[in-house]
Amino acid sequence: MLQTRSSDHAPMIAPGHRVFGIKIGSAAVVVIVLALLPLYASEYAVSVGILIFLYMSLGQMWNLLAGYSGLVSLGQQIFVGIGGYTLAMVTQAYQLSIALSFFIAAGISVVFAFIVSFPIFKMSGVYFTVGTWIVSEAMLVFFRNWEFVKYDAGYNITVAYRISMPALYLGSLAVGVGSVVLVFLILRSKLGLALMAIRDNEGAAETRGVRLYRTKLACFLISSVYTAITGVVLYLNITYVKPGAAFGIDWTVCMVFIAVIGGLGTIEGPIIGAVIYVILRQYLYNFPGISMIILGVVAVAIIMLAPAGIMGVLRNKFGFTFFSVGRQLPAGFGSIRKKAAGRRGRPS
Amino acid sequence: MDAPVLSIEDLASAFGSNRVLTSVGFELRERETLGVIGPNGAGKTVMLNIITGILSPDRGRIVFLGRDISRKSVVDRARMGFGRTFQIPRSFENMTAYENSLVGAVFGAGRTEKSAGTGVCEILDLIGLGGKKLDPAGKLGLLDRKRLEIGVALASNPRVLLLDEVAGGLTESEITEIMGIVRRVKDSGVSVIWIEHVMQTMLHGTDRVMLLNEGRNVICGLPEEVMSSGEVEDAYLGSGIHARTERRG
Ligand SMILES: Nc1ncnc2c1ncn2[C@@H]1O[C@H](COP(=O)(O)OP(=O)(O)OP(=O)(O)O)[C@@H](O)[C@H]1O
Ligand SMILES: [Mg+2]
């Protein structure tokens, strides 16, 4: 019983702080090893790394919405598109810096997300999902007919050519690690407590005083802004932007794949999901035409074998969690479960 | 006599043609435990749902500490000091018992997580979940979940505590324990509305008892008087509260 951790609690209680220190330490080592990858790995490996980190970030942000606040959006490509187009306009049309693109993309997306929240937050469940998708389709049509962005012609993002592969890799690593840290900090905060309550039971959360609208809106704004920031880096990698691709639902399909395969409502899930997704897709380049079918089959297989995703299985069967966002008992109350803590004291 | 903490005025509520409440009105006083009895389907839970804002009534007013709160949202009422338990427990299944109560303390009582921790643990100890603080609520048995309902409601530091059948299915000694807890809570300055079918809790655990039947509060008074009244006998004719007590207790 004690070993089947359901979710989000500290797997260790008594030696909590030490374990926390060890985890921070090992996470830091992993990040450093990853950061040095361009020094010892092939260019191909580095390019795959870029994709993994960026898709990890997309998956984290979609999971924050769907996995925690119950907002299943099929319109998050809007923000990838905003990121890509902001980069193109700022650097090509206005010849300004890449750094500025991040701020402008964040600004535009927070305003846009806030405005669309009024109509779409009036809808719930599947209506919300359809609503977000309709908004994203509308964006696609709008961009195709908007002179300011050169209609359907799109832009080549030439500043991106001057960015070296290692630099782009480090930027992607920062975005990917940043997304994990962001979600971790959110879940540890008061907002996170509200989100976890909403994830488990919206009605009960409300009766306990959790403001649903405000909490979900905060979640939507954060997720949208970070998706746009990720979009900027994605388009530094892609180097040309067109409405069809920028606002295509493919982006959200891969976010869903990553979050669901990895495990909804967990921090580890999108990390695992992104690694699987990117590597699988690299491999599937050898099978053009049927690659989408294979991805679909993989998704269905994992969902049927493990509805809670890979992380769900690891957690429920083996008690594995790395990012514990569970609340620890205050000092003086922690000793009650020492025995159990000892049993769970294996490295995770 | 103190001004009432809560006064309920002429509540009416119907679901389609099913007129559940036709006219319910009563007052809840300072430091009082008001027992509510009534046959199955009398509308006791509906009444609690109206008081907490989950349902809106067709007619009537709810006045809390002199303010009409009839139009306030569920969240506002929770934050104002209404703590309740659900007849069918509604816990946050993937969160621990401790975290469940923390939600009540942080969002209901407006405390910080840090400052709420010790109090929440003491509440869990009090309600007998001390050894299960870090168990996910979804892994608790039904009785423990009912305890947790009380814990979460208490953690929200309520001014009015609304209990909806928390003693059903408990053993004799557990019922005594619950009555002790309710008494302590009341003594700390909370007013309590306690819906229960278990005779003993109503007789010995309340200050007044109210009978809800056929959409109205039929009689209200001292526990012994109400419980031995003809109205109660009539209301329970056939099902019989005494028979129920034996079955459940
Ligand atoms: N949301 C709802 N929609 C429609 N009808 C409802 C709803 N909630 C309650 N009712 C009806 O209202 C009536 C009263 O139900 P309620 O749950 O309040 O009874 P109760 O007095 O709490 O009974 P019990 O002792 O069994 O808990 C029932 O006939 C029930 O079917
Ligand atoms: Mg009921």
Protein residue with its CA nearest to atom 9 in ligand 1: B46
* A161 class by beta-carbon count within 10 Å (0-12 exposed, 13-18 middle, 19+ buried): exposed
> Could you report the per-residue pLDDT of B88-134, keeping only the tens digit for each?
999 999 899 999 999 999 999 999 999 999 999 999 999 999 999 99
Chain B contact set for A201 (CB, 8 A): 90-93
Q: What is the mean pLDDT of residues A31-43?
A: 94
B95/A337 CB distance under 8 A? no
Specify the pLDDT at position A348: 34
Lowest mean pLDDT among A229-233, B140-144, B154-158: B140-144
Helices A268-284 and A43-63, packing angle to 10 deg: 130
Query: What percent of chain A is modeled with pLDDT above 70?
Result: 91
Res A61 pLDDT > 50 = yes
B91, A201 contact by CB (below 8 A): yes
Query: Any CB–CB contact under 8 A between A185 and chain B?
Result: no
Q: What is the mean pLDDT of residues A168-191?
A: 97
A337/B133 CB distance under 8 A? yes
Chain A contact set for B99 (CB, 8 A): 8-9, 193, 196, 326-327
Res B39 pLDDT > 60 = yes
Which residues' Cβ are closer than 6 Å to ligand 1?
A: B 15, 18, 20, 38, 40-46, 87
pLDDT tier for residue A3 given thresholds of 50, 70 and 90: very low
Number of H helices, E strands in chain A: 17, 2
Specify the pLDDT at position A345: 35
Query: Any CB–CB contact under 8 A between A144 and chain B?
Result: no
The answer to whether residue B96 is domain-embedded is: yes
A326, A315 contact by CB (below 8 A): no
- What distance in angstroms lies between residue B164's CA and the mean position of ligand 1's atoms? 12
> Could you report the per-residue pLDDT of B69-91, keeping only the tens digit for each?
999 999 999 999 999 999 999 99
B92/A206 CB distance under 8 A? no
Structural domain of residue B121, as residue ranges? 89-157
- What distance in angstroms lies between residue B204's CA and the mean position of ligand 1's atoms? 27
- Report the alpha-carbon distance of residue A112 to residue A86 in Å, rounded: 13
Q: Maximum CA pair distance of chain A?
A: 68
What type of residue is B230? G
B134/A204 CB distance under 8 A? no
B113/A190 CB distance under 8 A? yes
The answer to whether residue B84 is domain-embedded is: no
The mean predicted confidence, pLDDT, of chain A is 88
Specify the pLDDT at position A79: 98
Protein residue with its CA nearest to atom 28 in ligand 1: B41
The sign of the dihedral angle between the CA atoms of A11, A15, A16, A21 is negative
Q: Which residue has the higher pLDDT, A229 or A150?
A: A229
Q: Maximum CA pair distance of chain B?
A: 53
> Could you report the per-residue pLDDT of A12-33, keeping only the tens digit for each?
444 567 777 888 899 999 999 9
Lowest mean pLDDT among A39-43, A47-51, A271-275, A306-310: A306-310
Please state the φ and ψ torsions of residue A32, each to the nearest 5 degrees. -65, -45
Q: What is the mean pLDDT of residues A274-286?
A: 92
Pair of tokens at residue A327: 């609340």
Tell me how far CA of residue B22 lies from CA of B19, B43, B104, B214, in angstroms. Answer: 7, 10, 33, 8
> Could you report the per-residue pLDDT of B204-213, keeping only the tens digit for each?
999 999 999 9
Domain boundaries defined on chain A: 43-248
A190/B98 CB distance under 8 A? no
User: How many C-beta atoms surround the C-beta of residue A288 within 10 A?
Assistant: 8
Could you give the ipTM of this predicted complex? 0.89
- Report the alpha-carbon distance of residue A6 to residue A188 in Å, rounded: 17
Residue A192 three-state SS: helix
Specify the pLDDT at position B163: 97
| Side-chain-side CA neighbours of residue B122 (13 Å) | 9
Chain A contact set for B121 (CB, 8 A): 329-330, 333
Tell me how far CA of residue B201 lies from CA of A79, B129, B153, B167, B234, in angstroms. Answer: 58, 21, 19, 8, 20
DSSP B40-93: TTSSHHHHHHHHTTSS--SEEEEEETTEE-TT--HHHHHHHTEEE--SS----T
Alpha helix ranges (H) inside A121-208: 126-144, 165-188, 190-200, 202-207
Res A5 pLDDT > 50 = no
Specify the pLDDT at position A149: 87
Specify the pLDDT at position B64: 97
Q: Which residue has the higher pLDDT, A27 or A225?
A: A225
The sign of the dihedral angle between the CA atoms of B184, B185, B189, B190 is negative
Specify the pLDDT at position A12: 42
Specify the pLDDT at position A24: 87
Spatial strand order of the sheet with B208-213 comes to: B67-68, B59-64, B6-15, B18-28, B216-221, B208-213, B33-37, B191-195, B160-164, B82-84
Specify the pLDDT at position A66: 92
Tell me how far CA of residue A134 lies from CA of A141, A345, B170, in angstroms. Answer: 11, 49, 52
- Report the alpha-carbon distance of residue A160 to residue B227 in Å, rounded: 82
Res B176 pLDDT > 70 = yes
Specify the pLDDT at position A75: 94
Pocket test for ligand 1, best of B22, B45, B197, B217 (most atoms within 8 A of CB): B45
pLDDT tier for residue A340 given thresholds of 50, 70 and 90: very low
The continuous run of DSSP H or E covering B138 comes out as none
According to DSSP, residue B6 is labeled E
Pair of tokens at residue A210: 């959790």
DSSP A317-346: HH---SS--PPPPPTTSGGGGHHHHHHT-S
Given the DSSP bridges, would you call strands B208-213 and B33-37 parallel, antiparallel or unpaired? parallel
The mean predicted confidence, pLDDT, of chain B is 91
The answer to whether residue B130 is domain-embedded is: yes
- Report the alpha-carbon distance of residue A207 to residue B113 in Å, rounded: 18
| Chain CA centroid to CA B137, Å | 20
> Could you report the per-residue pLDDT of A96-118, keeping only the tens digit for each?
999 999 999 999 999 999 999 99
Res A206 pLDDT > 50 = yes
Pair of tokens at residue A285: 């380049």
Chain A contact set for B93 (CB, 8 A): 6, 200-201
Nearest CA in chain A to B140: A1
Specify the pLDDT at position B85: 96
Specify the pLDDT at position A338: 40
Pair of tokens at residue B193: 């509305």
Residue among A171, A328, A190, A199 at smallest CA distance from A267:
A199
- What distance in angstroms lies between residue B88's CA and the mean position of ligand 2's atoms? 9
pTM: 0.87
What total number of domains does chain B contain? Answer: 1
Chain B contact set for A10 (CB, 8 A): 134
Res B244 pLDDT > 60 = no
DSSP A97-121: -HHHHHHHHHHHHHHHHHHHHHHHT
Helices A126-144 and A98-120, packing angle to 10 deg: 130
A194/B107 CB distance under 8 A? yes
Res A240 pLDDT > 50 = yes
SS3 string of B185-203?
HHHCCCEEEEECCCHHHHH
pLDDT tier for residue A334 given thresholds of 50, 70 and 90: low
Pocket test for ligand 1, best of B44, B58, B245 (most atoms within 8 A of CB): B44
User: How many C-beta atoms surround the C-beta of residue A16 within 10 A?
Assistant: 17
Specify the pLDDT at position A138: 95
- What distance in angstroms lies between residue B45's CA and the mean position of ligand 2's atoms? 4
